[in-house]
């Protein structure tokens, strides 16, 4: 088997909450007999920010005992550093939330920040974070920014000019902290806002009881939906077939830890656009194929979902295919609309493609 495909199989097999005991024993024997090629496995885990999660899974399945010592130490140290970082980030969130509470604002934690205050991952160091995402009502954004600046946060004024109508405020930095705070005025990027009813999200929040601080997180259904839409539409993984391995793992964890609370059938009804429902169906099929998550009545093995899975798989297995596919995606109708329809909504896709081709030709000629 191709080494990249084998790496994907090993990583998803280890990370899957539903790995069969027989599969784990096969991995154990392969590790003991030095049949595992670790370089592509670690590279894949690094690429998708899954190294700490991989270590936790290997440790919990007692596969860590047979790892090469240098690899074991690397994974152990990586997880330790991420654990320390997440602990610092949690304290940072507590301080920011306490300050917001003082002016009557109860923030909603999104994405990784929400996981720090829930026990879904069980291990605080399992999930890597890049920044802190906090949602407040749009009418409270300005006073929230002022409140955070009162405790030392700053924003780059030049950088801030790029966020006039963004779904979150320009990142707020503070010297000595491990991450910036992104204060969201809306849940989703403008180009994917049609997927969810924003008011319905606000009406389905769950409280977090933590040290007297008033915090909220999205309920489980909306956490999964937000994760899917953010990865597949906002980050454009669906259109580019960029295997959303980290997002899939997060959904698999939630499906395992909160299974009885999830209404998969109703979840699709919460999506307001046909595009987002198509994306969700393809994502759930990908989730089933990679992490063995069973969702009765929601796994549709139709040609469209199967071809989407094959395209994602091909981009992992053959790097050249991924590079070619990624280049071609600049001509994707969605990408052309994003590039040229901001000011002219009826701008035809064919004209956008021609215009972009001329741009590339001029760029190529300029550097000859």
Number of domains making up the chain = 2
Place of tokens 């999964």: 224
Asked if residue 152 and residue 233 are part of one domain, the reply reads yes
Q: Which residues pair with 132 in a beta bridge?
A: 181
CA angle 218, 223, 225 (to 5 degrees): 130
User: Pick from 80, 78, 68: which is nearest to 38 by CA?
Assistant: 68
* Cβ atoms of 53 and 112 closer than 8 Å: no
Asked if residue 204 and residue 123 are part of one domain, the reply reads yes
- What's the CA gap between 247 and 338, in Å, rounded? 23
Residue 340: in which H helix or E strand, if any? helix 333-340
Give me the pLDDT at residue 192, please.
Answer: 63
pLDDT-derived band at 62 (thresholds 50, 70, 90) equals: very high
Question: Where is pLDDT greater, at 352 or 238?
Answer: 238
- What's the CA gap between 187 and 226, in Å, rounded? 8
- State what percent of residues in the chain have pLDDT above 90: 53
Asked if residue 275 and residue 203 are part of one domain, the reply reads yes
Distances (CA, A) of 227 to 55, 61, 137, 241, 283: 23, 27, 20, 16, 11
Backbone CA torsion sign across 28, 30, 33, 38: negative
Contacts (Cβ under 8 Å, ≥6 apart) of 138: 185, 186
Reported as a single tens digit per residue, the pLDDT across 285-308 is 999 999 988 887 777 788 999 999
Res 167 pLDDT > 90: no
Give me the pLDDT at residue 8, please.
Answer: 93
Tell me what the pLDDT averaged over the chain comes to. 86
Asked if residue 178 and residue 54 are part of one domain, the reply reads yes
Asked if residue 236 and residue 156 are part of one domain, the reply reads yes
Asked if residue 213 and residue 345 are part of one domain, the reply reads no
| Full residue range of the structural domain in which residue 351 is found | 332-366
pLDDT-derived band at 173 (thresholds 50, 70, 90) equals: very high
Reported as a single tens digit per residue, the pLDDT across 34-44 is 999 999 999 99
Asked if residue 355 and residue 215 are part of one domain, the reply reads no
Of the candidate ranges 53-67, 156-170, 268-282, the one whose mean pLDDT is the lowest: 156-170
User: Pick from 344, 342, 339: which is nearest to 164 by CA?
Assistant: 342
Reported as a single tens digit per residue, the pLDDT across 336-347 is 776 776 555 567
The distance in angstroms from the start CA to the end CA of the chain is 41
Res 200 pLDDT > 70: yes
Distances (CA, A) of 158 to 64, 164, 171, 179, 320: 47, 12, 12, 19, 38
Asked if residue 348 and residue 320 are part of one domain, the reply reads no
Q: Mean pLDDT, to the nearest integer, of 263-272? A: 82
Q: How many Cβ atoms from other residues are within 10 Å of residue 31's Cβ?
A: 20
Question: Where is pLDDT greater, at 327 or 7?
Answer: 7
From the number of C-beta atoms within 10 Å of its C-beta (0-12, 13-18, 19+), residue 320 rates as exposed
Helices (H) and strands (E) in the chain, counts: 18, 5
Give me the pLDDT at residue 345, please.
Answer: 59
Which pair of tokens denotes residue 244? 């959303």
* Cβ atoms of 96 and 113 closer than 8 Å: no
Give me the pLDDT at residue 67, please.
Answer: 95
Place of tokens 């860590």: 64
Q: Mean pLDDT, to the nearest integer, of 145-167? A: 78
Question: Where is pLDDT greater, at 317 or 88?
Answer: 88
* pTM reported for the whole predicted model: 0.86
Place of tokens 């720090």: 116
Asked if residue 338 and residue 239 are part of one domain, the reply reads no
Question: Where is pLDDT greater, at 350 or 351?
Answer: 351
* Cβ atoms of 291 and 12 closer than 8 Å: yes
CATH classification at residue 79 = 3.30.460.40
Asked if residue 132 and residue 237 are part of one domain, the reply reads yes
- State what percent of residues in the chain have pLDDT above 70: 87
Give me the pLDDT at residue 271, please.
Answer: 82
Asked if residue 200 and residue 56 are part of one domain, the reply reads yes
Asked if residue 339 and residue 266 are part of one domain, the reply reads no
Question: Where is pLDDT greater, at 19 or 98?
Answer: 98
């Amino acid at each position: 088997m191709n080494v990249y495909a084998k790496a994907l199989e090993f990583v998803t097999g280890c990370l899957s909450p539903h790995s069969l005991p027989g599969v784990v024993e096969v991995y154990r024997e392969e590790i003991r007999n030095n049949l595992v090629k670790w370089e592509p496995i670690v590279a894949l885990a690094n690429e998708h920010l899954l190294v700490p999660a991989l270590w936790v899974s290997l440790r919990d399945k007692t596969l860590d005992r047979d790892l090469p010592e240098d690899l074991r130490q690397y994974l152990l140290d990586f997880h330790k550093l991420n654990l320390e970082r997440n602990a610092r980030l949690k304290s940072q969130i507590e301080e920011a939330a306490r300050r917001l509470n003082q002016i009557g604002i109860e923030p909603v934690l999104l994405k990784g920040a929400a996981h720090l205050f829930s026990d879904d991952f069980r291990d605080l160091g399992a999930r890597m974070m890049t920044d802190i995402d906090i949602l407040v009502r749009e009418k409270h954004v300005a006073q929230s920014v002022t409140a955070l600046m009162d405790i030392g946060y700053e924003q780059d004024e030049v950088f801030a000019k790029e966020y006039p109508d963004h779904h979150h405020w320009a990142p707020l930095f503070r010297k000595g902290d491990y991450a910036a705070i992104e204060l969201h005025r809306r849940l989703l990027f403008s180009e994917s806002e049609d997927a969810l009813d924003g008011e319905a999200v606000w009406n389905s929040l769950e409280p977090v009881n933590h040290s007297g601080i008033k915090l909220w997180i999205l309920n489980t259904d909306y956490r999964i939906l937000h994760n899917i839409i953010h990865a597949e539409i906002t980050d454009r993984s669906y259109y580019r077939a960029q295997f959303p391995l980290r997002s899939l793992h997060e959904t698999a964890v939630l499906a395992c830890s909160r299974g009885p609370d999830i209404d998969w059938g109703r979840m699709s009804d919460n999506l307001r656009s046909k595009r987002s429902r198509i994306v969700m169906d393809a994502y759930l099929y990908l989730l089933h194929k990679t992490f063995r998550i069973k969702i009765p009545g929601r796994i549709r093995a139709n040609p469209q979902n199967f071809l989407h899975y094959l395209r994602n798989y091909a981009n992992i297995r053959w790097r050249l295919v991924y590079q070619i596919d990624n280049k071609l995606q600049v001509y994707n109708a969605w990408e052309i609309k994003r590039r040229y329809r901001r000011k002219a909504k009826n701008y035809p896709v064919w004209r956008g493609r021609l215009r972009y081709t001329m741009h590339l030709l001029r760029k190529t000629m300029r550097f000859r």
